[in-house]
Chain A
Amino acid sequence: MEKILVVNHEKCTGCRLCEMACAVKHVGANNPARSRIHVVKWPREGFELPMLCQQCEKAPCIAVCPKNALSRDSALNRVNLNYDLCIGCKMCVIACPFGGMGVDIVARQVIKCDQCDGDPTCVRFCNPGALQFVPASSVNLIKKRTVGVKLAEVMRKAVAA
């Protein structure tokens, strides 16, 4: 089943456990500079937003890659990065509208979220559920139900009155 990684910023507590788990999983060390996910924060208003590769359908990174190192992986519904072909030119880093492509300063290569091949570590560690890996076909239905719970309560009350 095709799944997508969705972010619910309202549930994010800004703990950055996703950043830590991502880095430790991918490089065996904790270093947010090498993490594929980042929580962007506005500390004076308590607003936090996890950001990562959106696995675009018409991905600018794929379009600009001169060596076809980036490609659409339909089996895992993601943008694949093939390090055997990558020359490290960083055009993808420039082209990405979300900052989803990064540079690993230790490994000297570009990095992006690979969704841990179908079992994202960040999602596993996100206790409040701000990160979820859900079927693409029902992502809007899940949201409708979440919002609908509140709406339904109001409507039930209206009917009862």
Chain B
Amino acid sequence: MALNRKIAYVNLTTGEIKTAPIPVEMRQLYLGGRGLDMYLLYNHLKPGVDALSPDNVLTVSAGLLVGTPASASARTHVGAKSPLTGFVGSSNMGGFFAPELRFAGFDHLVVKGKAPSPVYLWVHDGEIEIRDGSKLWGEDVPTTQDLIREELGDPEIKALCIGIGGENLVRYANVMTGIKNAAGRSGTGAVMGSKNLKAIAARGTQDIAIRFPKEALEYNAKLLEHIGSTKFAQIMQKWGTMFIYGVTNTTGLVRNRNFQSNQQVGGNIECEHIEEHALGTEGCYGCIIHCRHKYMIRKGPYAGTYAEGPEYTSQGAFGMEVGCNNFETVLIGNHLVNKYGIDTLETGSIIAWAMELYEKGILTDKDTDGLKLEFGNDEAMLEMIKRIAERKGLGDILAEGPLRAAKKIGKDALKYCIQVKGMSNLHSDERPTPSLALGIATGSRGSDHLRSRPAIDLYHLPEKVLRSIYGGPKPYDGPLSSDYTSYEGKPRMVQWHEMLYEAIDCTGVCKFHSVFLSPNLIAFDELSKLIYHNTGLEFTPEEIWDIADRAYTVERLFNLREGLTRADDWLVDRYFDEPTPVGLPIVRGKTLDRAKFKQMVDEYYSLHGWDETGVPKPETLKKIGLDQEPSHML
């Protein structure tokens, strides 16, 4: 049945490979995917190891519902100790790798040690081989996958891999699959690079048995019909995530010129420009939202290049943040980071920061080797992407991530750096939106929107609707506010989305099918039914919340073990001291209030059952069964 998938432990130093079944008891505790990966990291990693040493552990997994008629059940999760933050590393991507891993008989791979020379893993129908990867080393992301398919003689092989970013240990290098699917943010690509592991290829022909196939298909058909009928899905099908720019830049909720403005006035990189370049859209496995554009770069030095994307994040990275206002530049930047396998968001943010340092005279022409690193200099920005991936000149420093780079640059560099836990903030400006700000301040993997962002807070939903969402599955009768500039009830929203996204990531369903950018999609009730029809496992919505709570608390324990303190759940001073200069009246002149923000963090801790230092209370751990961790059950 769908649960009958194995875990494999691969030691690259010794070449030893062991496989084991995954007991159903572990499914009941963590489902799979991100949840089980977090358990594995907590149990297999020694505290305090160097993230780029052979002691780090890399986990690759497919969620519990991957390859079943759930909804966009395509997600691969990649875990490790993050070389960027030093805390939990957790990256997630779509595409077609995770289903293929399951067809090949596996749900979780745990990779340890370091190969003496470049290798790749070949996972096929219950077997795993370590193969010579020296011919692949130095190749870009799509070429690496092509070469593997060629070498093994099967065009249906799905592979994940690193580009030169991961090989060069750029601390925010991604694990990639396909043209642009990226397990990003946490630098898991650098971990692969540090292990001399260039790629993992999978191909399988094993059944994923569905517990109640008729019911599962019928339920899925109805769910997809509902999802497809929403305006959100139709907008995404047409424009992808780039549609968000139309709201956020107009309102004044984006970072512009690093953090100096909250709007690109005159912004001209909205999603509609994609029509001149698009060849159509693509879906990940089993997904009807198909938000990924296929496009061709038509002009300039990259003319004739086929690429996919870009996402909203790349509009920020190569548009608003760096003060560039050309859609073609976004298309090229997006192509470059995906080819090199480095994180689009971190790359854009760190270049924007370097640009502000250049503007302030902290970085000079000497540091940039003569490159005029000015806001709005498209060519310099694109050149900097290359230098980061190749670790050349200033690029070598910026490849180290914000905190290490700030230390090397010295002077006041850190003051201008927009980061949490050593991870650059995305290109949204959260000064007017306390809920979004709390989310990035407290996210377990660092400053990030995919841990807990209550994006629907921006929609001014009526309180009745908010109550119907946030009032369950665990009872909550505290305040809720439709006003996104308010601090009222926002910790609950953050906690609720944190739990939902954790549960979703355990199943391998895509967040875009959940209550993330639309209030109408999958939440705990629907997950409960999807899990039951496909696997036969019975969980109430409350029990799914408990599983998510357990998995998220393991992430918290991991971070605490690596030295996290309450001070790490905080934003940089600029959020509190510099008011937003522009935008619509609702967002203008806003800063966050330190006292109110502190109160929100307190409330957030208390909702989790953590004490005022952010440490889970003993009774909390006992309640969710974590008082005996690490328990080494797998």
Contacts and interface: CB of A to CB of B under 8 A. Distances in A.
Contact present between A and B (CB < 8 A): yes
Interface of A: 10, 13-17, 20-21, 24-25, 27-34, 43-46, 48, 105-106, 121, 124-125, 127-128
Most interface-central of A10, A33, A124 (chain B CB within 10 A): A33
A15 B69 contact: no
Chain B interface main SS type: mixed
A50 to B, nearest CB: 13
A121 B220 CA distance: 12
Interface stretch (B279-287, B362-370, B519-527, B610-618): B279-287
A87 B228 CA distance: 44
Contact of B208 (A25, A30, A106, A128): A30
Nearest to A128: B290
B282 A13 contact: yes
Given A45-B306, A127-B224, A128-B288, A31 B205 contact: yes
A13 B287 CA distance: 9
B284 A46 contact: no
A13 to B, nearest CB: 4
Nearest to B308: A46
B286 A27 contact: no
Nearest to A46: B294
A11 to B, nearest CB: 8
A17 to B, nearest CB: 5
B103 A21 contact: no
A-B interface, 10 closest residue pairs, ranked by CB to CB distance from nearest: A15-B283, A46-B294, A127-B288, A29-B207, A33-B205, A13-B290, A13-B283, A28-B213, A29-B209, A30-B208
B209 A28 contact: yes
Given A46-B308, A125-B221, A16 B207 contact: no
B288 A29 contact: no
A28 B210 contact: yes
Given A21-B69, A125-B220, 18 more contacts: A10-B280, A15-B283, A15-B286, A15-B287, A17-B286, A20-B286, A29-B210, A29-B213, A30-B210, A31-B103, A31-B205, A33-B103, A45-B306, A46-B308, A48-B282, A127-B224, A127-B288, A128-B237
B179 interface: yes
Nearest to A42: B155
A34 B288 contact: no
11 contacts: A14-B282, A15-B285, A17-B287, A17-B288, A24-B217, A30-B208, A30-B210, A106-B207, A127-B228, A127-B288, A128-B290
A17 B308 CA distance: 20
A128 B287 CA distance: 11
B294 A24 contact: no
Contacts of A28: 209-210, 213
Contact of A31 (B207, B213, B282, B284): B207
A15 B67 CA distance: 11
Contacts of B237: 128
B578 interface: no
Contacts of B591: none
Question: Which one of B67, B216, B280 has the greatest number of beta carbons of chain A within 10 Å?
Answer: B280
B142 interface: yes
B283 A14 contact: yes
Contacts of A105: 205
A73 B290 CA distance: 36
Contact of A30 (B69, B142, B224): B69
Interface in B279-326: 279-288, 290, 294, 306, 308
A46 B103 contact: no
Contacts of B209: 28-29
Interface in B257-295: 279-288, 290, 294
Among A16, A30, A106, A127, max chain B CB count under 10 A is at: A30
Interface string B222-251: 001000100000000100000000000000
B75 to A, nearest CB: 14
Given A21-B217, A24-B217, A125-B221, A46 B287 contact: no
A35 to B, nearest CB: 11
B221 A46 contact: no
A16 to B, nearest CB: 6
Interface string B110-149: 0000000000000000000000000000000010011000
Given A24-B69, A43-B142, A43-B178, A16 B285 contact: yes
B528 to A, nearest CB: 20
B206 interface: yes
A71 B68 CA distance: 33
A20 B67 contact: yes
Among A34, A44, A121, chain B packs the most CB atoms within 10 A around the CB of: A44
Nearest to B284: A15
Contacts of A21: 69, 217
B96 interface: yes
Given A24-B69, A30-B69, A124-B221, A15 B103 contact: no
A46 B180 CA distance: 12
Interface string B195-223: 00000000001111110010011001100
A75 B205 CA distance: 34
Contact of A46 (B68, B96, B205, B280): B280
Contacts of A30: 67-69, 207-208, 210
B257 to A, nearest CB: 34
A128 B234 CA distance: 11
Nearest to A16: B285
Contacts of B208: 29-31
B179 A43 contact: yes
A34 to B, nearest CB: 7
B210 A24 contact: yes
Nearest to A33: B205
A128 B224 CA distance: 12
Contacts of B207: 27, 29-31, 34, 106
A20 to B, nearest CB: 6
Contacts of B287: 15, 17
Nearest to B278: A46
A120 to B, nearest CB: 13
